[in-house]
Amino acid sequence: VGFQLSDKSIVVGPIAIFSQTIFSWDIVNAKDINEATLSLFTVLDPSLDVLILGLETQHKYEDIQKIKKILHKYRIRNEIIPVQQACGIYNHLICERRYVAAGLIPPLICQSDIRKVPITENVNKADQNK
């Protein structure tokens, strides 16, 4: 799963997004966030006004604090929030012409979120006709 961009294109998996650029972010979930995986954001000069991290699900306070400690070391202001909120905040800050980036992890899919696609319906009909 991934993200639909404003031009209707689809990007699969976690992404690192800047005002003019999108990169695939080589993590699976928020537990993979560490100093090495944050290096994409920490090496920037000048440093970001703020880094928005949108996580796929709720995480323990201790896990969030580990990430914040790394970002504090590099003096990067940050917001670590659920990905659904992170996208809106990122877009708002970009519209204000702020120097921001976001690391976004697609939300987890619940069984109730899965929609039937036409091919599945056709397979089900074919099975009924047997």
Q: Angle CA(95)–CA(99)–CA(103) in degrees, nearest 5?
A: 90
Residue 122 has pLDDT above 50, yes or no: no
Report the pLDDT value the prediction gives residue 71, as an integer from 0 to 100: 98
Using DSSP's 3-state secondary structure scheme, residue 17 falls into: strand
Parse the chain into domains and list their residue ranges: 2-104
Architecture in CATH for domain 2-104? 3-Layer(aba) Sandwich (3.40)
pLDDT in tens, 49-108: 999 999 998 888 999 999 999 999 999 999 999 999 999 999 999 999 999 999 999 987
pTM of the full structure: 0.81
Q: What is the mean pLDDT of residues 11-36?
A: 95
Which pLDDT score, from 0 to 100, does residue 57 have?
86
